[in-house]
Amino acid sequence: MRLRDDFLWGGATAANQMEGAFLEDGKGLSIADVEQGSRHGVPRPIHEEVRSGCYYPSHEGIDFYHRYQEDIDLYAEMGFKCFRMSINWPRIFPVGDEAEPNEAGLEFYDRVFDALLEKGIQPVVTLSHYETPLALVQKYGSWRNRELIGFFEHYCRTVFSRYKDKVKYWMTFNEINETMNQREPYHQAGIRYQPGENPEAVKVLASHNMFVASARAVLAGHEINPDFKIGCMIQYPTTYARTCRPEDVMARRYHMMPNYYYTDVMCRGYYTNLCTAQLQRLGVTFEPPAEDLEILKAGTVDYIAFSYYFSYTASSEDGSSLKVERANPYLERNDWDWPIDPMGLRIALNELYDRYQMPLFVVENGLGAIDKVEADGSVQDDYRIKFLGDHIEALKQAVELDHVDVIGYTCWGPIDIISVGTGEMRKRYGFIYVDKDDEGKGSLKRSRKKSFAWYKKVLATNGADTSGLE
C-alpha cells in the first residue's frame, strides 16, 4: 500500500480568519466579526455588536479578499493539489433568512474558485466554519432553534447549484464536536446561554439541529450533483489512558464518547448506544423528533474529515469521573503548551477507520509557533518542517502499514492567518509569512519561509521525501 496518486495535498483555512472585507460587497456580520483579539492565553471578549474603538481581527484578516490571486499563485508554486477554504455564509445570505442570495458574494467565490482551477488546484469547501450570520443568533437564538435547519439548507442549495462544476469536496460543519466539548459553544454553534437554561440540554438540541441540517445538505448536494463528496468534520482528540489502571482505561472511553457521538450520527445515521449512553451521562433526556430520523439515516456523509493537533491523557479515580490533561511525560510541547505527538495521528487514523470504514481526510494539522524574522527577511522554521514531516510520516505509516484509506492532507494555515483560539497573529502556522501583528499593524506583505521550499519538495515527491532542508 502507498499514498494514492491523486492524493489531495494542500492547505486549509477559514474565511473568518483570512478574508477580511467584513462588510464589503453586501456581506453581513458573522459571529466571528464581534469577537475581539486577545493576548496570549486570555479568552477573547465577545460583543453583541461591533463597537467603535475595539479591534476585531476578522475585519481585515490577512485581506485574502483582495489578495487571493497572489496567495493562490504561491500555493500553485508549492504544487498544491487542493485548497481548503470556507464560504463565509453571511457573504451569501447577509442576515441568513433571506430568500435571495447576495450576488456580489457569489461572484467573489466564482473568482476565487476560477483562480484556483486555473492553476489546477481543487477547492475543498467548508460550508460553516465559525461564520453563522450574527442576525440568526440575535433573531432566532442560533442552532437551538430548528428554523436554522431550513436556512442552512437554502444556503447550501444555493452554493451547491452555483458551484456544482467547480467544487467536488465539501464538508458541512467545521469541528462539529466542539459543540459539546466547549463549555459555551459560541465559535461552533453561536450559542451563549440564557438565564435558566440547562447548558447540556442546549448543546444536545443544537447538535441535533446541526445533524439534521448536515443530513439535509448531503441529500441536497447529491441531488444537485451525484459526484459531490460531502463529509463531516470533527476535531479528533486522540486520548491515552494515563496508566494501565482499568479506571483510567474507562476514563479514556468516557473522553471519546462526546466525540464519537457526532461521527456515529453523521456516519451511521442514527443515535447509537454510545450516543444514548452519553445523553444519560449528561443527565439530558432527548427524544429526536420522529420526522428527523429518516433524514439522518438517508443523509449520511461520504467521508470523514478531521483536524488533529495533539493528544490528551485521561484518568479517573473511581472509574466514572473523568480527568483530562494535555500534559504527557513522553511528549514535548509547543509555545502554546500543545503536546507534539505524530504517532497520535496514526492512532487517530486507525481508530476512525476501524470504527467507520470510510475514507478519511486530514484537513487540519500544524504547528502554531512564534516565528523570528531574520535581518535578511528570512524565517528559518526548521521546527515547523520537523513537526509536519513527522506527522506526514505517521500518516504514511497509517496508509502503508495499517492500510487505512486516506484521501488527502491539508495542513492548517499554509499562510499565516488569525488564530481562532486567541485572535493573535503571532501564533503562526504558515509556509508564507504575513507582515501583521497582534494589534493589526503591518504591511500585509507575503514572503516565503524556509518551510515553503520544503513543502514544495514533499508535494513534488507525493510525500516520499519529507527530509529536512540544509
Write the CB contacts of 188 (distance below 8 Å, at least 6 apart in sequence): 130, 173, 174, 175, 176, 178, 179, 182
Restricted to residues 207-236, the positions that interact with ligand BGP (CB under 6 A) are 235
Is residue 174 part of the contact set for ligand BGP (CB under 6 A)? yes
The nearest distance, CB 387 to ligand BGP, in angstroms, is: 13
CA atoms within 13 A on the CB side of 450: 17
The nearest distance, CB 106 to ligand BGP, in angstroms, is: 23
Q: Of these, 122, 300, 419, 466, which contacts ligand BGP (CB under 6 A)?
A: 419
Is residue 364 part of the contact set for ligand BGP (CB under 6 A)? yes
Is residue 105 part of the contact set for ligand BGP (CB under 6 A)? no
Is residue 368 part of the contact set for ligand BGP (CB under 6 A)? yes
Longest Cα–Cα distance of the chain, Å, equals 65
Q: Of these, 84, 162, 427, 428, which contacts ligand BGP (CB under 6 A)?
A: 427
Is residue 128 part of the contact set for ligand BGP (CB under 6 A)? no
The nearest distance, CB 364 to ligand BGP, in angstroms, is: 6
Q: State which residue has the least CB distance to ligand BGP.
A: 421
| Extended strands (E) in 341-396 | 360-364
Cα 22 to Cα 58, 73, 251, distances in angstroms? 7, 23, 43
Q: Of these, 220, 420, 432, 458, which contacts ligand BGP (CB under 6 A)?
A: 420
Q: Residue 265 carries which DSSP code?
A: I
CB contact at 8 A, 219 and 288:
no
Query: Candidates 90-98, 211-219, 317-325, 416-424 — which segment interacts with ligand BGP by CB under 6 A?
Result: 416-424
Cα 173 to Cα 170, 188, 213, 266, 446, distances in angstroms? 10, 8, 10, 11, 30
Is residue 438 part of the contact set for ligand BGP (CB under 6 A)? no
Per DSSP, the three-state class of 230 is strand
Query: Candidates 18-26, 264-272, 413-421, 454-462 — which segment interacts with ligand BGP by CB under 6 A?
Result: 413-421
- CA gap 309, 74 in Å, rounded: 25
Restricted to residues 290-329, the positions that interact with ligand BGP (CB under 6 A) are 307
Is residue 43 part of the contact set for ligand BGP (CB under 6 A)? no
CB contact at 8 A, 117 and 124:
no
Label residues 357-379 b or e (16+ Cβ within 10 Å = b).
ebbbbbbbbbbbbebeeeeeeeb
Which residues are tagged catalytic? 175, 364
What residues line the site for ligand BGP (CB under 6 A)?
A: 14, 174-175, 235, 307, 364, 368, 412, 419-421, 427
